Chains A and B, each alone.
Chain A
Amino acid sequence: MAEPNTNELDGGIALPFEKSIAHFPKQIADLEAEQIKTGRDFAAEIRQLRAQYVSMLRKTYQSLNPWETVQVARHPRRPLAKDYIDTIVKNFVELHGDRCFGDDKAIIGGLGRIGTEKIMLLAQHKGRDTKEKIIQNFGMAQPEGYRKALRLMKLAEKYQLPIVTLIDTPGAYPGLGSEERGVAEAIAVNLREMSRLRVPIVCIVIGEGGSGGALGIAVGDKIAVMEYAYYSVISPEGCASILWRTAEKAPEAAEALQLTGASLQELGIIDDVIPEPLGAAHRNPAEAAHNLEQYIVKTLRTLKRFKADNLVNQRYESWRAKGKFLEREPK
């Protein structure tokens, strides 16, 4: 495993559960600065600190609880869709608009190449700084976003291009216009149509998989969640405020909802968990992007081997099987 990037050992911002390791990056940086300033050799000390840091980091991240995972998934420095597009999508041509109402910037769509594969990419982008967040509406799409996504996916089907979707949203936008223009209808139609598109579809939750707003571009042949991303029917805060009557119980709700990759895989909801670098994607975005790229390339290579009919049938069967219930003897 690669070492954390020296410049941003803690991704710039330490999370509450990182208290015991938060001091390392500064210590290391200070020593390095001192070394340059005074010309003295602290290499041994730096090496030792670094080793300590790596081992503590490994220990912490091996046993994150679900609420801690949610915090990592929302880390302000976590790579966002645009970062991945910049790193792994070559020759990206962004395509705008739903041809009905407008261009929803919460979902970025376009043509590009990942590895040697030509693909149609759809990605929810939350925005990095305040200005960008407002433009992208914090990754909360409105109906036109889902309709743009469907338009582009149909275009991909027409030209036999596989589809890759990156999911990162707190949820669809709960606003007046969104409701008026039928966000529920737009999501519903995507679910139906994605189930029968005759090209491979790979869907990856890279950060937050917020309920129906996430699912609206997440029906495909293979569904993956990155190691410190989450995917849930409701936000932990929302669940806590309903069942515990206070959003402060979000950690308990996160635990109960079983929203991490490992749990989701066990429940048969997702196919794969994509590993992240030591200390999560924000500590080493390049490695995170590399892992994502590897997964997409490998998965598309497998899916491309199937005839369209078989692909669609398998997709139906895999979704048909999602759900856990009891079946009694019929009377």
Chain B
Amino acid sequence: MAKNTKDEQQATSPYDAAALPVPSPRKKREVPDGLWMRCPNCEAMLYRKAVTENLEVCPKCEHHFRMGGRARVEHLCDPGSFEELFAEIAPADPLNFHWQGKSYAKRIAGEQKKTGYVEAILTGATYIKGRRVALGVMAGDFLMGSMGSVLGEKLTRLIEYATEHSLPLVVVCISGGARMHEGALSLMQMAKTSAALARYDEAGGLYLAVLTDPTTGGTTASFAMLGDIIIAEPNALIGFAGPRVIANTIKAELPEGFQRAEFLQEKGFVDTIVHRKELRSEIARLIDYCKPG
């Protein structure tokens, strides 16, 4: 498997895949720098630009590379239609969290500088193929899409916005789980977002959860698994505990394909697996089916 997968597995903790240690920026990029790159799946040498133009999907074998938050918004939304909401909500450092001479506050500042995002989720109102939706896109390129207070608050406000404006809700998930650096505050976001989804559900809202590689820990055990319809990208890793933790627990190798999108569909936890190229039209189609009247 890809190098990225190994990093993310190592960082997944026993009980929750909390925030991941951030490897050097070079290693963290979904796709390495340079003109050429190798597909970790089919090992073909690929022209970097051709992959990007192909929505970060390998043109040879359809392997889905990870997509950054901003790129994902650009891909999903009708051109120029994304109106960002709740961008004023920014991370604090409520525990004054320090470790080994490092600080959470500095780590956050570094991530903000690197990505240009304030936090690991972008929220807004937009159009997808002409359908008005409330959209949340987690940013895997920001502290591994880990969930802290800001992510919980922005997502909750988005859900409340969708409730108030009777909009379909689409949330694209990518996450290492709850963020350790905010302690149990991060854990509480699972319940907070789920409670907001309960109200949205009562108001008759349609929630489409899109699970991408990887979706783990507290994110999976809350809003990711609460979609009225759960869509997954091909071969996405989706689970609660990380594969390495499970392998350590059972002291055996994990079966081939374990915790992958296809496996989850087989076990009954994913409605449909959709190729990235089809995602926009599939979302539009599902919204049309579930529209009242």
Contacts and interface: CB of A to CB of B under 8 A. Distances in A.
A231 B16 CA distance: 13
Interface of B: 11, 13-16, 18-21, 87-92, 94-95, 97-100, 149-150, 152-153, 156, 178-180, 182-192, 194-199, 201-202, 217-218, 220-226, 239-241, 245-246, 249-250, 254-255, 258-259, 267-269
A238 B14 contact: yes
Interface centre among A178, A233, A315 (most CB of B within 10 A): A233
Contacts, number: 238
Nearest to B100: A244
Contacts of B255: 176
A229 to B, nearest CB: 12
Contact of A184 (B15, B19, B185, B224): B224
A320 B156 contact: yes
Contact of B198 (A192, A325, A327, A329): A192
Kindly list the 5 A-B residue pairs having the minimum CB-CB distance in the complex, ordered from nearest: A171-B15, A174-B241, A195-B195, A323-B149, A191-B194
How extensive is the interface on chain A, given as a class? 35 or more
A327 B267 CA distance: 42
Contact of B98 (A183, A256, A269, A327): A256
Contacts of B224: 184, 188
6 contacts: A184-B240, A192-B201, A212-B221, A241-B13, A323-B153, A328-B89
B156 A188 contact: no
B195 to A, nearest CB: 4
Interface in A182-229: 182-185, 187-189, 191-196, 209-213, 215-216, 219
A104 to B, nearest CB: 15
Interface of A: 170-176, 178-185, 187-189, 191-196, 209-213, 215-216, 219, 231-235, 237-239, 241-244, 252-253, 256-259, 264, 267, 269, 315-316, 319-320, 322-331
Contacts of B246: 174-176, 179
A242 B222 contact: no
A324 B92 contact: yes
B162 to A, nearest CB: 15
Contacts of A170: 14-15
B95 A175 contact: no
Given A173-B249, A233-B179, A253-B99, 14 more contacts: A174-B15, A179-B259, A184-B239, A188-B224, A195-B194, A219-B194, A234-B18, A235-B13, A238-B18, A315-B195, A319-B191, A320-B195, A327-B88, A329-B88
